[in-house]
Amino acid sequence: MSSQKSYGEDLVVEEHLRHPLFLNALESVEEGGKLINADPNILARLKRPKRCIVVSVPVRMDDYNVRVFTGYRVQYNSTLGPYKGGIRYHQNVNMGEVVGLAALMMIKNSVMGLPYGGGKGGITVDPTKLSRTEKQNLTRRYTSEIGPFIGPNKDIPAPDVGTDPQTMAWMMDTYSQEQGYTQSGVVTGKPVEIGGSLGRNGATGLGVVYVAERIFERLGRSLKGSRIVVQGFGNVGSHAALYASDRGAKVIAVSDVSGGVFNGDGLNVKEMMDYVTKNKSLAGYDRGQRISNDELLLLDCDALFPCALEGVIGAHNAEKIKAKIIVEGANGPLTNEATKILHKKGVFIVPDIIANGGGVVVSYFEWVQDSMSFFWDEDEVNSRLKSIIIKACDRAYTMAQEKNVDMRQAAMAVSIDRLQRAMLLRGLYPR
Ligand code: NAD
């Protein structure tokens, strides 16, 4: 281990490197690094993004005025392969948030064993206020502006909050027009007709269930017959609830932004998904008792899947949680403080970087299929997903047992260990 002199590199002056999401990620990198006695030179590098790109995105709106939006792409680390991470359209997007999310993608891609570095992008915009034409114009101009920096072998964006397969189709088309030929591998999460993968839509929810099943098994229990509570009934939550009930679990409560529905005998998840497709939310669904989101989190159950927002379980409610197992479908639903309180109480927590990794794993499959122009059937996609996500879960579980720490710290350690080995082999930072 080398002793370090200070050259001032720790005097962070850039505002965006002080965003709470990024500071949280740095704390986790530090904790994971400590567990494996990581080289401080490696940690110093991993604690800074490699490249932060800011672009102005002028868009002609439907009223013919031009509005100039701000877009970002952060390429955090490429030790393990091309940058990979989603594009977020939200009014609160800023450089700090994007840096934090890009760091998390580096950690997640490493722990999942994927050949990717970490990246993330976004535009500060409320997409619900844009017409379809405005959203398309915005997406095309943003893609042009970041065009020199992305590509199937360089940096591969994907959907995130506020973007979807249609957005990816526009990105792929714009990039391909500028290159002069079709480059489907430049983004993932595309519609199946233009190079998307079967199984991508439900992949994150399915991954949540594969991991939950594995942890139940490890703890000498069974997902079948267990009582599950799911917060959030969007892409991740609804699929997680569906696949859990398909495997014989009793989903006793689910919720969305309109509140929760409880039924101790088990809810009909498929019927609820159809209801939401028709009515946009669970509001008005009456085949169960209505409860609030706060009450839902505190229900007595075998496993809780928080699949909505970040920070919903914190110091304020962690002591009152009755679930025995928590599988983080959303990004960051538990604060670091809550994780510590719950771990002490004996609650088993599967961290987001493993639990919701199903999305990026199937994105990886999409990229592989695009490069071969050979597409797999859905069973093949799902069985390969199962194999990768369970391996990652097992690696973290073993590390947690060996070091007597919680799964979040263990997963961080597994991630940093892989990055460190790769960096040393590449000769970037010899000891
Ligand atoms: P989504 O927009 O499809 O669904 C979000 C759900 O949460 C909706 O049902 C919404 O009504 C509900 N919700 C919003 N506010 C709520 C509140 N206060 N209480 C309860 N429910 C509330 O989003 P998604 O794609 O399902 O993503 C959910 C989370 O999972 C996010 O943290 C996202 O970053 C993460 N994630 C998603 C994927 C993916 O593939 N979609 C992959 C990895 C991580």
- Asked whether residue 431 carries a pLDDT value surpassing 60, the answer given is no
| Mean local confidence (pLDDT), 370-391 | 98
Q: Is 232 in the pocket of ligand 1 (CB under 6 A)?
A: yes
Report how far apart, in Å, the C-alpha atoms of 90 and of each of 55, 161, 299, 384 are: 16, 7, 31, 33
Q: Is 293 in the pocket of ligand 1 (CB under 6 A)?
A: yes
User: Rounded to the nearest whole angstrom, what is the distance from the C-alpha of residue 405 to the centroid of ligand 1?
Assistant: 28
Residue length of the chain: 431
Query: Which of 14-28, 206-220, 305-319 comes out lowest in average pLDDT?
Result: 14-28
Report how far apart, in Å, the C-alpha atoms of 92 and of each of 127, 198, 280 are: 11, 32, 23
The answer to whether residue 120 is catalytic is yes
pTM (global) more than 0.85 = yes
Nearest alpha carbon, ligand 1 atom 16: 257
pLDDT given at position 20: 86
User: Rounded to the nearest whole angstrom, what is the distance from the C-alpha of residue 313 to the centroid of ligand 1?
Assistant: 15
- Asked whether residue 9 carries a pLDDT value surpassing 80, the answer given is no
Q: What 3-state DSSP class applies to 231?
A: strand
Q: Is 309 in the pocket of ligand 1 (CB under 6 A)?
A: yes
Q: Is 234 in the pocket of ligand 1 (CB under 6 A)?
A: yes
pLDDT given at position 11: 67
User: Rounded to the nearest whole angstrom, what is the distance from the C-alpha of residue 232 to the centroid of ligand 1?
Assistant: 6
Residue appearing with tokens 């999401």: 21
| Mean local confidence (pLDDT), 323-348 | 94
User: Rounded to the nearest whole angstrom, what is the distance from the C-alpha of residue 12 to the centroid of ligand 1?
Assistant: 32
Report how far apart, in Å, the C-alpha atoms of 303 and of each of 134, 138, 153, 391, 394 are: 42, 41, 40, 21, 19
Residue 1 pLDDT level (bands cut at 50, 70, 90): very low
Mutate to test the pocket of ligand 1, among 101, 105, 309 (most ligand atoms within 8 A of CB): 309
Q: Is 330 in the pocket of ligand 1 (CB under 6 A)?
A: yes
Q: Which residue type is seen at 427?
A: G
DSSP string, 362-404: HHHHHHHHHHHT----HHHHHHHHHHHHHHHHHHHHHHHHHHT
Three-point CA angle 217, 324, 359, nearest 5°: 65
Q: Is 351 in the pocket of ligand 1 (CB under 6 A)?
A: no
Tokens of 401: 């047992």
Q: Which is the catalytic residue, given 120, 135, 250, 324? A: 120
